[in-house]
Chains A and B, each alone.
Chain A
């Protein structure tokens, strides 16, 4: 077992103390939220950090604030807590499903939303595409600094973020929209999804799509928007069969990631079916 004597875990009582500890630890330190990814480092043949700053007990990171204009989610909110908090808000069905159906009940009680976004190497994170289709923003913090950036931008920079930073909260704007989350795990539950489609649309008075957001997760190493499909949906009534047909014509823009359990081509092949399921869930 890889257990250098110098390793430490500091349980931060406040955000300030966590940021101080991360700053002082530099590259040797990292935030530790739910730990469901970090604790599996030995299986991935990765070295653990010498110092972890546990942020799961910090009150400032545990809040969920639901206002008329936005929902703010603290980074240490667990999947289970998030799913329960948003269950009655239908505009967030996509996020409720992402948080409430991923992994298994015990993991959902440990894994945090901030960890889901910050774990660069975890391609199958459910909440990432769900938050992409909701136009979420991320607030990151370091000692003496705060930045609020689009989730899309955060995903491009997270692997090169300097030591000392952590995700503080996620801000999701509230809009009149219908949303759905479709995922394909190899087992019915408790497994990583092969592919994920998250969908958010707003409709005009006669039922045509005014705005569309489609995000795809688990197919490529990093989740991303499917903007060509979004363009194809806008201006037309939302129809599950037609949406799947459009998806089939556009799916070649994805390059699936290969793995021992799922070949690359399969992740791409199932996308039209997931688009159909997501659109059908919205009553189309």
Chain B
């Protein structure tokens, strides 16, 4: 029996083994390649998606346990085809370098902006504890988050 998953509002089915990490189903069956399987240990955050609104490393989530949940990947965060506030701020602050970590960064920061509109610099740093970037040194990312918080 296949798995029934709701991804970015679309109802999709998968024939994957139920314990298959969700990130593999997203990328290999649904061709949603924003989430990256990098460490596969929940450390790096490159595979972060929103499960029922909560940032979740999709490398540690069996596809079977995502059934019945609202799964939102970076591909589903844009608003009416445009960039959402954090995406726009990251672009404005020239915060993106190689891009490997950025889908996960966008997911975590979208959640932060949604749930904690009064977040401070320290709150942003804490929220990004599980998102590792090896290019930027983080400061531009944090500045972009502060800009997005100030303008939304």
Interface residues of A (CB under 8 A from B): 1, 3-5, 7-9, 11, 32, 35-36, 39-40, 42-43, 48, 52, 54, 56, 103-107, 109-110, 189-191
Contacts and interface: CB of A to CB of B under 8 A. Distances in A.
A102 to B, nearest CB: 11
B21 interface: yes
Interface string B1-32: 00000000000000011111100100000000
A104 B130 contact: yes
A9 B17 CA distance: 9
Contacts of A32: 62, 65
B127 interface: yes
B76 interface: no
B136 interface: no
A1 B62 CA distance: 14
A8 B55 contact: no
B96 interface: no
A56 B68 CA distance: 14
A105 B62 contact: no
A159 to B, nearest CB: 22
Given A43-B40, A103-B42, A35 B127 contact: no
B91 interface: no
B41 A43 contact: yes
B113 interface: no
Interface string B41-63: 11101001000001111011110
A54 B56 contact: no
B55 A190 contact: no
A191 to B, nearest CB: 8
B55 A3 contact: no
A35 B130 contact: no
Contacts of B48: 106
B145 to A, nearest CB: 14
Contacts of A104: 42-43, 45, 129-130
Given A43-B40, A106-B130, A189-B129, A9 B65 contact: yes
Q: Which of A4, A48, A104 has the most CB of B within 10 A?
A: A104
A109 B60 contact: no
A110 to B, nearest CB: 7
Given A104-B45, A189-B129, A52 B60 contact: no
Contacts of B20: 1, 3
A264 B124 CA distance: 34
A74 B37 CA distance: 32
5 contacts: A35-B61, A35-B62, A36-B60, A52-B62, A104-B45
The 10 tightest CB contacts between A and B, nearest first, are A104-B130, A3-B17, A9-B64, A104-B129, A9-B18, A190-B129, A39-B60, A189-B129, A106-B55, A106-B130
